[in-house]
């Protein structure tokens, strides 16, 4: 096997493994919810265990390189990116997961490229092309189909196990969808604001530092909410050891490791191919959720997921062709 083929294989393997590992986050969270955990505790446990790993990444990204001191402006920008990209995005995501299926959560998060495009149109007055509108319409129609799947599959084991209370399926799914949509929007803002810093310092340098900020904020949130509610929210001492073990899995294999895998994949095969391989994420979530959570797989779910993936793929190719034409 030639060196180029070896590099391609390694890059595709890293990008695929990273996408699958990221998709496991929702599965792990829901398993802990079934053991009696809530979103604040699950996020806090995850970030507490991930913080040492991100500190190690930050050191690794800086090793052997002479860098100028970080300015106050850059520090505050890292804090802002940590808030939007990882603190708010993670908290809203895990809160939403208490109400909806893992498959619907992943479907909504996969709309992220469309949100970046919409925000760019609003902030930078960039015109959206007709094909881009069509691709977004296809993707959002797919989310509606998956939403209807959740409504029909009123088994909604995740809702009942999370202590959400007496609400109709429409109420629970709507609340959860809006929370996860807020998570996707927050991460889209992070992507828009991080471009210049990534080019200047590198992805690992920024992601590790922004993630450290988010970890600290999530831990502070955990403590404040726990004290403010007299332990009614954020309680973790009653959880079995399996929940803590799952949190360790979440921190290492569904948080820190996928970051490195995806970045390594981008380095070896490029961002375009790595992002297309990342489409395995929604499918892996569906199968993992069916296997571990007994979430039903229906033709409607597969149809909606296929529409989302098709819309995002079309949008990605349209944007790439548009950029090539401008070049």
- What is the pLDDT averaged over residues 132-144? 89
Q: What pTM value is reported for the model? A: 0.87
Residue 118 has pLDDT above 90, yes or no: no
Q: How confident is the model at residue 64 (pLDDT cuts 50, 70, 90)?
A: low
Residue 59 belongs to what domain range?
A: 3-326
- What is the pLDDT averaged over residues 279-290? 86
Q: Kindly report, residue by residue over 8-58, the tens digit of the pLDDT.
A: 788 888 888 888 898 899 999 999 999 999 999 999 999 999 999 999 999
In the chain, % of residues over pLDDT 70 = 88
Are 134 and 153 spatial neighbours (Cβ–Cβ below 8 Å)?
Answer: no
Number of domains in the chain: 1
In the chain, % of residues over pLDDT 90 = 39
Residue 266 has pLDDT above 80, yes or no: no
Q: How far is CA 325 from CA 36, 232, 318, 321, in A?
A: 54, 57, 11, 6
Q: Kindly report, residue by residue over 151-210, the tens digit of the pLDDT.
A: 776 544 444 444 455 677 788 888 999 999 999 999 989 988 887 888 788 888 889 999
Q: How confident is the model at residue 114 (pLDDT cuts 50, 70, 90)?
A: confident
What is the distance between the alpha carbons of residues 246 and 20, in angstroms, rounded to a whole number? Answer: 16
Q: How far is CA 32 from CA 28, 37, 46, 140, in A?
A: 6, 6, 11, 30
């Amino acid at each position: 096997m030639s060196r180029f083929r070896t590099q391609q294989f390694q890059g595709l393997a890293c990008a695929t493994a990273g996408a699958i590992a990221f998709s496991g986050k929702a599965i792990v969270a829901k398993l802990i919810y079934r053991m009696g955990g809530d979103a604040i505790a699950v996020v806090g446990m995850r970030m507490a265990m991930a913080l040492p790993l991100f500190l190690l990444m930050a050191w690794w990204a800086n090793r052997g390189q002479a860098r100028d001191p970080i300015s106050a402006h850059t520090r505050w920008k890292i804090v802002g990116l940590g808030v939007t990209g990882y603190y708010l995005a993670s908290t809203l995501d895990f809160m939403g997961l208490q109400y909806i299926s893992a498959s619907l959560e992943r479907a909504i998060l996969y709309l992220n490229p469309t949100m970046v495009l919409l925000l760019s149109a609003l902030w930078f007055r960039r015109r959206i092309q007709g094909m881009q509108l069509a691709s977004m319409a296809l993707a959002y129609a797919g989310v509606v189909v998956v939403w209807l799947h959740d409504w029909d599959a009123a088994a909604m084991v995740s809702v009942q196990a999370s202590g959400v209370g007496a609400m109709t399926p429409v109420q629970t799914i709507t609340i959860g969808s809006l929370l996860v949509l807020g998570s996707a929007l927050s991460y889209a803002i992070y992507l828009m604001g991080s471009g210049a810093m990534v080019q200047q310092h590198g992805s690992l340098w920024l992601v590790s530092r922004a993630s450290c900020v988010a970890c600290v904020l999530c831990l502070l949130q955990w403590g404040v909410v726990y004290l403010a509610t007299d332990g009614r929210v954020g309680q973790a001492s009653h959880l079995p050891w399996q929940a803590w073990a799952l949190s360790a899995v979440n921190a290492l294999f569904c948080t820190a490791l996928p970051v490195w895998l995806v970045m390594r994949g981008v380095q070896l095969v490029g961002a375009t191919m790595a992002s297309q391989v990342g489409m395995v994420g929604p499918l892996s979530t569906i199968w993992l959720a069916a296997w571990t959570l007994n979430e039903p797989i229906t033709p409607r779910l597969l149809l909606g997921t296929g529409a989302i993936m098709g819309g995002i793929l079309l949008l990605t190719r349209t944007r790439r062709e548009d950029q090539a034409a401008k070049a």
